[in-house]
Amino acid sequence: MSTLAVTPGQKTESIAELKRRANRLRIEIIKMIGAAGSGHPGGSLSEVELLLGPYFRVLRHNPKDPQWANRDRFILSKGHGCPALYAVLADAGYIDHAVLATLRKLGSPLQGHPDKRFLPVLEANTGSLGQGISVGIGMALAARLDKKDYHTFVMVGDGEIQEGQNWEAAMFASYHKLQNLTVIVDYNHQQLDGFLKDILDPAPLAEKFEAFGWRTVEIDGHNLDQVIPALETARQETGGKPTCIVANTIKGKGVSFMENNPEWHGVAPKPDQVAAAIAELEAAAKTL
């Protein structure tokens, strides 16, 4: 049985190439949300490297066989960040790039929150925040019961960590020694209404998960030299603990007028703003 992902080009794509891909994906995200006229640019831009790491280096998966029983599972619990996931799925070979332009359109498979009824390649419907870790626990337990060695990754938002179900799930996962479960926290320090520190600060996140019995690591979520090793180590965990990767990120990453600005949590850029954002990202591409 293969232990590697089967994404085309995955084995040879360098960190430099992945950085260029991240920049291209940010341009795609801006175009998608701008064309839709609605969506969540801030949190979509913050999670790009955290999606590239799994799908292009770590996740065991096969676009030619999306329902492969031994594939690793990936759940985007912060479902409003789905434009980034859709863009990565297109680059990985799961969906046609042409479909990206239909984001949030009537009848499109690319709903405003991930929905398996429209896009079967997804592992779960998400967007009701706080539930992703529990869904991932179910998949991790299923792997144990079925005697399979696939790993389950769940990406959560730092705002949704405020919800109590996450901490019930955290207790359960460590108690049952689910070493085949990894939670990635997109720690961009903002949520819908503003900055976490002004609403309900979950800090210190790494220490909290560690106190709940998890193996924890804190990284720069935009540095692929940190993202990929953290994911690889979690994928290989044998110590009987689930892993939490606290990834410090910048909301709106790559677009200066969106970075660290809570106003861009759930507002689509207007045509002139789309043009300005793309121009900035294209200029940045020349330095990569």
Three-class SS state of 163 = coil
Please give the structure tokens belonging to residue 165: 């179900």
Domains and CATH numbers, the chain: 17-285 (3.40.50.970)
Q: What is the pLDDT of residue 12?
A: 60
pTM as predicted: 0.95
- Amino acid, res. 73: R
For residues 192 and 265, the answer to whether their CB atoms sit within 8 Å is yes
Confidence of residue 13 (pLDDT cuts 50, 70, 90): confident
Q: Rounded distance, CA 175 to CA 165, Å?
A: 15
Cα radius of gyration (the chain):
18
Q: Rounded distance, CA 244 to CA 221, Å?
A: 13
pLDDT per position as a tens digit, 180-221: 999 999 999 999 999 999 999 999 999 999 999 999 999 999
Nearest alpha carbon to residue 182 among 95, 283, 60: 60
The contacts found for 206-211 with CB under 8 angstroms, 24 or more apart, are 206/244, 206/246, 209/170, 209/183, 209/244, 209/246
